[in-house]
Structure 1
Amino acid sequence: MIAPLVAALGLWLAPGQDAATTRPAPVAIADPTRADTLLAAFDPLIGKTWRGASITAENVVDEVRFERTAGDKAIWSTHSAAGGAYTGDTLIVFDRDTGGLVSFYATSGGFYTTGTVKVLGPGRFEFEQQVHGLDGIEAVRAQTTFEDNVYRIRSQHLINGAWVETGGFDYRPID
């Protein structure tokens, strides 16, 4: 079962090697501490569930949780807004080609985003995302801050070629 999968993925085994015991060599990162340093900026948020109220829409509440995943080499967050009416998952990883962080966001709305995450400090980030599969919105920018145990997000959407302020959330940790 594993050998056909390995072959389908374009991985080859030398004669006498078994797919179950053969592991790919670790990928060399030019500066492995850079990846760890960038991902560590998420540490104030990790392992907690955060609840936030929309600053523009009445009675819209979002909950988000951040975790380390992939052997601590990635950040995974999942969120649920409006009691689960809208959900999304984000995966953030180090990109050795650029030396920065990239993110992938999948939604229950049937669209997704891809882009970069610029680390400004612990809990502070700028997201630049291209939107795929959502008519009318081309891109999203978001800035986050983390101060006094409040995680804030403010966002803008590129709509018909113009950046529009679209609100955000103020999150606090919950039990």
Structure 2
Amino acid sequence: MKALCLIIALFSFASVSFTSVATEPALHPELEIFRPFLESHWEGDLTEPGKVKKMIDRSIWSRALNGQAIKTVHSINDGEYGGETMIFWDEKQQKIAYYYFTTAGFYTHGTMNYDKATKAIEALENVENNAQGITQVRSHSVLDQSGTLEVSSEYLQKGQWVKGHSALYKRVPKTEVKFR
């Protein structure tokens, strides 16, 4: 009986040791800045000031393509609008690049720069096939110490830069991103 307890104790210790030694899944080194977002669910309120109708955005971030990319999926108001993004390191441009495909029939492609001092991500994307005449989007994102993600954007629409959406995103328990 003592031998059985000793064997169980040894296996328990070994499994704890192996679990604590396990490493995080591989991720392209240039994408490491996104690791804090991975395998997490986020929710933000995009409701414009003065508007009654709520615009709740839910998203999921995950590692993709053996760590060579990051995939995000989001939807607003359970599928009223949504999209999927693939973020990757573009070797030719030597920049973080991405493609974003939407349920509205347009898509975007752009690049991101990360400022280590401010921990901000600046993105500039070109918009293709947008019905409202938007041809570019600039955005600014910061993940603060409390874990809140602050995002703001502006759109180049019909030749003029106009204020876009802004939101504070918080991590939430597992949420479902729905499409219609």
| TM-score interval for Structure 1 and Structure 2 normalised by the shorter chain | 0.7 to 0.9
Aligned equivalent of 1:130: 126
Distance in 1 between residues matched to 2:41 and 2:76, nearest whole Å = 13
Distance in 1 between residues matched to 2:63 and 2:112, nearest whole Å = 16
Aligned equivalent of 2:105: 110
Alignment pair present for 1:86 and 2:84:
no
Alignment pair present for 1:156 and 2:154:
yes
Unaligned segments of structure 2, at least 5 residues: 1-26, 174-180
Alignment pair present for 1:64 and 2:41:
no
Alignment pair present for 1:49 and 2:46:
no
- Aligned-pair identity in percent equals 26
Give yes or no for contact 1:38–1:119 (8 Å, CA) kept in 2.
Answer: no
TM-score (norm 2): 0.73
Aligned equivalent of 1:141: 138
Report the AA paired with residue 41 of structure 2: T
Give yes or no for contact 2:28–2:69 (8 Å, CA) kept in 1.
Answer: no
Unaligned segments of structure 1, at least 5 residues: 1-34
**Per-residue deviation, 1:150:** 0.4
Distance in 1 between residues matched to 2:57 and 2:119, nearest whole Å = 18
Report the AA paired with residue 106 of structure 2: F
Bigger radius of gyration: 2
**Per-residue deviation, 1:123:** 6.5
Report the AA paired with residue 103 of structure 1: Y
Distance in 2 between residues matched to 1:83 and 1:124, nearest whole Å = 28
Query: How many aligned positions are there?
Result: 141
Distance in 2 between residues matched to 1:77 and 1:124, nearest whole Å = 18
Report the AA paired with residue 167 of structure 2: F
Distance in 1 between residues matched to 2:129 and 2:88, nearest whole Å = 22
Normalized per residue, the structure richer in helix is: 2
SS of equivalent residue, structure 2 residue 104: coil
Distance in 2 between residues matched to 1:164 and 1:66, nearest whole Å = 28
**Per-residue deviation, 1:98:** 1.5
**Per-residue deviation, 1:152:** 1.2
**Per-residue deviation, 1:131:** 0.5
Give yes or no for contact 2:47–2:56 (8 Å, CA) kept in 1.
Answer: no
TM-score (norm 1): 0.75
Report the AA paired with residue 135 of structure 2: E
**Per-residue deviation, 1:55:** 5.2
CA RMSD of aligned residues (A): 1.7
Aligned equivalent of 2:14: none
